[in-house]
Amino acid sequence: MATDKSAPLWERLERPAPAPRQTLSPQRIAMAAVAVADAEGLEAITMRRLATELGVAPMAPYRYVSGKDDLLELMVDHVYAGMRLPGGLGWRESLHALAVSTRELMLEHRWLAQLPPQAKLALTPSRMAVAEQSLMALDGLGLDPDMMMGVFRGVDAYVQGAMSYDSAVDEFMSEQSLSSGDELRTELAPLMAWHMRTGHYPAYEHYLRTATRKDDRQWQFDLGLNCLLDGIAARLKI
């Protein structure tokens, strides 16, 4: 498959392969790249490494992808392909399922929170399908198209933000060889103690002394998500 850089990746992949037999396919390429990224992170992904994993010549993957940007799009589409919202639910249940499924996907594939901007914004078929299902769940509620997109993007932004923060914490803990929230707090204790001694943060100090769910990320995520959905329902009267 000759690579025409002037056409979008997904348009190129829809074209029939010129040879009757192919040792590669977009699915094989994506699966191999995802496996490497899951095990070693995005920095381990190179076209040469990919060819090695696939057991093909270094230039062979270029029949389908023009470089790493295309490869990242292919990887994103591959992992989103299995994400489908259950049918027959109301708008709130559908968007709750969207948020939970996206979080689970990002927990399984940690590199999704570390994608460069082009890959984060990639309009892949599988991601478009998820967006379509989400918008359809909001259809018929009396919302105009801008409101529907705003609700969808608001829920998605909540998940992305929560997972980006968790990813940063996990990366810092890995770099510092920390294995628990208690160890993380011990690491940050000198700086935190200085802040508390200033007396400027009484509410935060109360949190530090009395909170019991500091490391319960699932509970924190669920609370924030339900507050967001409550706010959408109250604001839009749906």
- Please tell me the pTM assigned to this model: 0.86
Nearby residues of 97 by Cβ (< 8 Å), 6 or more positions away: 85, 86, 89
Considering only 5-14, 88-97, 125-134, 142-151, which range has the smallest mean pLDDT? Answer: 5-14
Nearest-angstrom CA–CA distance, 116 and 84 = 25
Q: What is the pLDDT of residues 22-64, one digit of tens each?
A: 578 999 999 999 999 999 999 999 999 999 999 999 999 999 9
Nearest-angstrom CA–CA distance, 72 and 61 = 13
| Type of residue at 14 | E
Spell out the alpha helix ranges (H) of the chain. 9-13, 26-40, 47-54, 68-80, 91-108, 117-120, 125-138, 145-175, 181-197, 202-210, 217-236
Whether 173 shows a pLDDT value over 90: the answer reads: yes
Is the separation of the CB atoms in 33 and 84 below 8 Å? no
Nearest-angstrom CA–CA distance, 76 and 69 = 11
Give the model's confidence band at 237: pLDDT under 50 very low, under 70 low, under 90 confident, else very high.
very high
Mean of all residue pLDDT scores within the chain = 92
